[in-house]
Chain A
Amino acid sequence: MIKNINNLHSFKEWLFIFFLLAIATFLLPLLNIFAPEESVLHVPDYIFPLLGKYLCYALVALAIDLIWGYTGILSLGHGVFFSMGGYAMGMYLMRSIGKEGVYKSDLPDFMVFLDWKELPWYWLGFDYFAFTLLVILILPGLFAFTFGYFSFKSRIKGVYFAIITQAMTYALMLLFFRNNTGFGGNNGLTDFKQILGFSLQEPSTKMSLYIITTIVLFLSYVLSRYVVQSKLGRILTAIRDTESRVMFSGYNTIHYKLFIWTLSAFLCGIAGALYVPQVGIINPSEMQPSNSIEMAVWVAVGGRGTLSGALVGAGLVNWAKSWFTVAAPDYWLYFLGALFIIVTLYFPKGLVGIFARFNSEEKVRESA
């Protein structure tokens, strides 16, 4: 097993990956703690939740690359799986507030506001972190499995599948917007105080969450790399290119599609759960159709079917978004749309593809 994992990358590539991991998990925190505040090397506190947020997005992009880049199934509904993980974590954080809320009640504030007398049955269990963790790990995958089972069995493909995933996220957004659904309506869940007894206001908690996110992303990357590099990964790309040939070769392609679709949703749910304590809020707008489309754009920009492209794309597009929404907030959506069109038309392999082409041209020149 260790040997198999070792073979996923060349020695140089592993070195690079561990170098990045060391910077993220050791160097940045050390510079925050030990570098004096007036020094240029000092890493301010606010960086960690911000980076943590980007890393969650990167995990989402990784999940989408598995299903879209490798298997050719475009999902425009991954916001749902992200939100499921997010809401589950949010419910635990709400319960952790205890009686410190505005109304000093044992119930979450929004329930008091709605004049509810007791906790709905589906909130039971979220007092316990272990239960919450189970829900985070199982629910998004289970939901995806059920949804995928019926879709793939009916041989829904391509743009039709993309459209029903959009419909799915839109429908769930509307459901969660309703106050009496019991998830805080359009305000969602917020005003969290603590996680596992640690105050969410403490810089050390924020830094820990960031480090955990980094490690989860790293492990998810290794898992994804293992999957796409296995024979299963080659079958997935074969399904993407010529599904009928795969079927006539004796593979039940429905099982393969279900596997990767469920794995993708599973990773996306974890991303949502890590996102919520670092951002401090989860509300139905995460399930806006446009949000899920944006997630697909990250992957398209970075480069489909490479895994690394997804990570780069999520980082760059969100960095651009942070910059734009301050400098020229009205133009962000135009920019995003233009970016998507340009990348699709001129750089179908995304930024990583441009880089790879540049690299190989250089090699050709060298050998000439």
Chain B
Amino acid sequence: MSSSGAHIKDDSIDTTHGCILYIEDVTVSFDGFKALDDLNLYIDDGELRCIIGPNGAGKTTLMDVITGKTRPDHGTVFFGQNHDLTKMTEYEISHAGIGRKFQKPTVFLNHTVFENLELTLHTQKDVWQSLTQPLTGEQRDIIEENLEIIKLKDQKNLRAGLLSHGQKQFLEIGMLLVQNPRLLLIDEPVAGMTHQETEHTAELLKSLSGKHSVVVVEHEMDFIRSIANKVTVLHEGRVLAEGKMEVVQNDPKVIEVYLGS
């Protein structure tokens, strides 16, 4: 997969200290309400991390801060040790190697499944290239390969708007995969999926970790149990607990705000 777009330096992320994402003292407030409150969070290179927390805990705001959609009031967000995400635009962050799947599946509804993957494919993304460079055979193969992975091969010429909710979720994950990011942020991937689709997603995410770092925000506890190594519990914009699922699950503070209810 990494063979496409050889001109792009995607190895420029300095992870010599083992961490790929450093979030330190980040505060975001909306009209006085602190969505994130001096939050500290570190993601290791290659790990699969789940973030849980009740509604309003700041999960989506955290994603927004990492992808450049929302700027923190103060605090630092570093991708590797050398990319200050608070000073980069959305597309620069994407180029640096962070891909995001939104809570509500966000795909290009008027484009075919194949075109959706073509548009997100990891390659040169300037105007002139887009105008003059048709897909190479190699890039076509990458897309076909990923169509297989997300099980949408038979639907590749179908308009994405005609897919089921679960299929759209898979398509969006596929769009992330062809982008070949170092860090994947995945917001509620199994909402609206059937049991089988959920299992498939769990397999997929587990297979990604190691090569990529994956951060999953999810509500579905069974799903988290099936994939998670390490879980971070957010509450009122802060980290309430962090650690192995079994440990976190039995933490009295966590039971009080979240799991017990």
Contacts and interface: CB of A to CB of B under 8 A. Distances in A.
Interface of A: 4, 227, 230-232, 234-235, 237-238, 241-242, 244-253, 255-256, 259
B1 interface: no
A249 B127 contact: no
Contacts of B134: 4, 230-231
Contact of B91 (A231, A234, A247, A259): A247
B67 interface: yes
B90 A247 contact: yes
B182 interface: no
Interface string B122-138: 00011100111111000
Given A234-B111, A244-B106, A252-B125, 9 more contacts: A231-B134, A232-B130, A234-B115, A245-B107, A248-B94, A248-B100, A249-B91, A249-B94, A255-B126
A250 B95 contact: yes
Nearest to B120: A249
A255 B128 CA distance: 10
**Per DSSP, are chain A's interface residues mostly helix, strand or loop, or mixed?**
helix
A253 B107 CA distance: 16
Contact of B119 (A227, A249, A255, A259): A249
A246 B127 CA distance: 13
A338 to B, nearest CB: 29
Contacts of B113: none
B224 interface: no
B232 to A, nearest CB: 23
A72 B251 CA distance: 51
Contacts of A259: 127
A319 to B, nearest CB: 31
Contacts of A248: 67, 90-91, 94, 99-100
B197 interface: no
Interface of B: 67, 69, 89-91, 94-95, 99-100, 102, 106-111, 115, 118-120, 125-127, 130-135, 175, 179
A250 B120 CA distance: 8
A251 B106 contact: no
B91 A253 contact: yes
Contacts of A244: 69, 90, 106
B90 A241 contact: no
Nearest to A226: B131
Nearest to B135: A231
A244 B160 CA distance: 17
Given A249-B119, A250-B94, A242 B108 contact: yes
Contacts of A241: 108-110
Nearest to A259: B127
A250 B108 contact: no
A222 B67 CA distance: 39
A237 B111 contact: yes
Given A231-B130, A242-B108, A255-B126, A250 B179 contact: yes
22 contacts: A230-B130, A230-B131, A231-B131, A231-B134, A234-B111, A234-B118, A237-B111, A241-B108, A241-B110, A242-B106, A244-B69, A244-B106, A247-B90, A248-B90, A248-B94, A248-B100, A249-B120, A249-B179, A250-B91, A250-B179, A251-B125, A252-B91
A148 B151 CA distance: 42
A246 B90 CA distance: 10
Contacts of A253: 91
Contacts of A255: 126-127
A231 B133 contact: yes
B131 A232 contact: yes
B246 to A, nearest CB: 34
A266 B58 CA distance: 47
Q: Which of B89, B127, B175, B179 has the most CB of A within 10 A?
A: B127
A230 B132 contact: yes
A244 B127 CA distance: 17
B108 A238 contact: yes
Contacts of B89: 247, 252
B119 A231 contact: yes
Nearest to B161: A241
Contact of B118 (A231, A247, A256): A231
B175 to A, nearest CB: 7
Contact of A245 (B95, B106, B115, B126): B106
Contacts of A237: 108, 110-111
B114 to A, nearest CB: 11
B146 to A, nearest CB: 14
Nearest to A239: B108
Given A227-B131, A230-B132, A232-B127, A249 B175 contact: yes
A24 to B, nearest CB: 29
A347 B105 CA distance: 29
A318 to B, nearest CB: 30
Contacts of B135: 231
Contacts of A227: 131
Nearest to B115: A234
A230 B130 CA distance: 7
A360 to B, nearest CB: 14
Nearest to A236: B130
Q: Top 8 A-B pairs ranked by shortest CB distance?
A: A250-B94, A232-B130, A247-B90, A232-B131, A249-B120, A231-B130, A238-B108, A245-B106
Contacts of A230: 130-132, 134
Nearest to A256: B127
Contact of A250 (B102, B111, B125): B125
